[in-house]
Amino acid sequence: MGFKGILGRSTLANYARRIKSAPREVIISPSLIISSMMYASSAIPLSKSTSNPTAYSSVIDDLLAWDQGSASTVASLPGFQQHFGISSGSNAEAIRNIVSLVYVGDAAGAALSFFFNDRIGRLWSFRLYTAVWIIGQLIAIFSPGTAGLYAARIVSGLGIGALSVTGSMSVVEIAPAEIRGLLTSWYSVSMALALMAANLCVYGVQLHIATSRLQFQVVYFAPCVFMSLWIVASFFLCESPRWLLLSDKHDEALETLLRLRCLPAHHPRVQQEVQSIKESLRSEAQSCDINDHSPSKIVSNAKEMFLVPSNLRRVQQVLILYMFPQVSGGNSMTNYFVPVLEIIGLAGDSTRHLFLSGMYAMSKFFFCLIASFFFIDALGRRNSLFTGIIIQMISDIYLGAYIKVQQDDGTSRAASKAALAAIFVHAFGFSIGLLTLPYVFGGELWPNRIRSFGSAMSQTFHWLFHYAMTFGTPSLLAETDNWGAFIFFAAWCFIALLYVYLLVPEVSGYTVEEIDRIFNMPWRVTNRRKPQDSSPVLEGQDVDRVPSHIVETSISATKQTKELQIK
């Protein structure tokens, strides 16, 4: 087989064919794009932060402001320090309690969201959780002391954790298969955008507002305005058609799907997608011996989750993929950015820290944006994970070796600059791999009936593990002479590579319903499946233009589409 043949069978070529075969209206649907942006904005309140040179910079890192975004620098504002009587310090050991404690509240919010997600729908869940977070921000704005900060954090945490459940899950439920990865990864893009905007907001406040409470109040209030506008906009945007079908609102589901796809009701793709979802719901109900009239929905969902083998495979995969970002050092690098700078000998004054924090935030935004358009769907989930993890592992190894050599013999200025560059290279690898993909998998792998339960459970685990790792990172650095921690992170990256190769299937190009068939196959087969290349009706081709042999072999072909083909 020549080079042209190999290229024609590549993941990128398959992706190009899927996009080309899809109706143009589906790919550039205004309702789809704006609704996806709204659901993806759920990440704004929980954007990952970079730690500030002051102790309470990291305190607020997780207490207030764009939860973990502007928080990274807001405590350096004189107005904040004056009002709350906060001293400064940059020791990671000293700040870890407050840095990590917030995630307990986030975990509670994620767990509690299960009781609302399927009752009130995706749109009302978004409105409710965003409102809860805004209330927490307002409590912080008018707080007279540090006790109010903790109270505000508890309230905000409930909203933050719940939003982390519904954000990517809602995008998955409205997105077409061709660009589901692209749209779902906007969740991480929103997270990085908020981090960048938060740093710039604090910097602007520091320059242009005199020392007073107004400094930190502006920082806390700014995202509330933005998220309030999304609440208003949500009344004009689309509910999840899958949730509507799950709730037996069939007419409304069809109407919503027509808005999202910009296609007429008689179009084969629309009919096929609705039929596929209905068949999936029936199949899921029949695949387990669970009584729909169980006294508790949580018991019913738990049985379906843990007693059905294919669902149990999903549980282990999603939980492990949420674990890897923590143990591979991705989030630790973000949470303790400034202490890491000091470890590699690049500490400076607060202005330098603010500048580097801003550049780090900006780089992560562009890296996530690049990942969404050129990696997740174009290269596939597995290839994106391989690429990102390898880059992250190499960066960790270099940083560990650099710190060890620096401690023993000292290093050159060029090596120091390379270490700083390695931090940003690490951010690139993390952004295209273990930062973005767990959220994508966490939304798309679950069956329709238990997607809310699975997402709530996995996000609860995610926040608790995030808490444990953030709390333990300072001790890990101290006990391993700093350099050993990075070798530890690199070792976990290697384990992640093996896990992805052996157990993570490629689901790029498959519909949410077709993914269920993948998890019913032996794992030795599924982890080597190529991205879907042809699902003609569901992927958007007109049935009359599709050869009959393709229709007959398509995963998504049904009796209805075959009849249309004969006609």
The tens digit of pLDDT for each residue in 397-449 reads 999 999 998 887 776 778 888 999 999 999 999 999 999 999 999 999 999 98
**352 membership: H or E segment, kind and range:** helix 350-374
The CATH-assigned architecture of domain 33-242+300-503 is Up-down Bundle (1.20)
**285 membership: H or E segment, kind and range:** helix 268-286
What is the reported pLDDT for 122? Answer: 96
Asked if residue 49 lies in contact with residue 137, where contact means CB atoms within 8 angstroms, the answer is: no
Asked if residue 73 lies in contact with residue 354, where contact means CB atoms within 8 angstroms, the answer is: yes
Check whether 562 has a pLDDT greater than 80: no
Q: What SS3 state is found at 182? A: helix
What pLDDT digit, counting tens, does each position of 328-384 carry?
998 888 878 878 888 888 766 666 777 788 888 899 999 999 999 999 999 999 999
Q: What SS3 state is found at 218? A: helix
Tell me the pLDDT band of 153, cut-offs 50, 70 and 90: confident
Q: Which two tokens stand for residue 548?
A: 């009959």
C-alpha distance across the termini of the chain, in Å: 38
Asked if residue 528 lies in contact with residue 413, where contact means CB atoms within 8 angstroms, the answer is: no
Most confident among 431-435, 474-478, 517-521 (mean pLDDT): 431-435
Q: In whole angstroms, how far apart are CA 482 and each of 175, 336, 402, 468, 469?
A: 43, 12, 11, 18, 15
Compute the C-alpha angle 56/62/68, nearest 5°. 110
- Least confidently predicted of 245-249, 386-390, 488-492, 514-518: 514-518
Check whether 549 has a pLDDT greater than 80: no
Q: How far is 262 from 112, CA to CA, in rounded Å?
A: 35
**Nearest partner of 49 among 72, 66, 65, judged by Cα:** 72
**In the chain, where are the structural domains located?**
33-242+300-503, 533-567
What is the reported pLDDT for 55? Answer: 33
Mean pLDDT, residues 10-31 = 87
DSSP of 513-532, one letter per residue? HHHHHHHTS-HHHHTTPPPP
Asked if residue 89 lies in contact with residue 218, where contact means CB atoms within 8 angstroms, the answer is: no
Check whether 90 has a pLDDT greater than 70: no
Q: Which two tokens stand for residue 494?
A: 């290697």
What is the reported pLDDT for 78? Answer: 59
Residue 373: CB atoms within 10 A of its CB come to 13
- Say what the pTM is: 0.85
Residue 308, judged by CB atoms within 10 A of its CB (0-12, 13-18, 19+), counts as buried
Asked if residue 262 lies in contact with residue 26, where contact means CB atoms within 8 angstroms, the answer is: yes
Check whether 289 has a pLDDT greater than 60: no
**Nearest partner of 135 among 106, 155, 115, judged by Cα:** 155
Where does residue 239 fall: left (phi above 0), alpha (psi -120 to 50 degrees), or beta otherwise?
A: beta
What is the reported pLDDT for 520? Answer: 84
- Least confidently predicted of 228-232, 281-285, 372-376, 421-425: 281-285
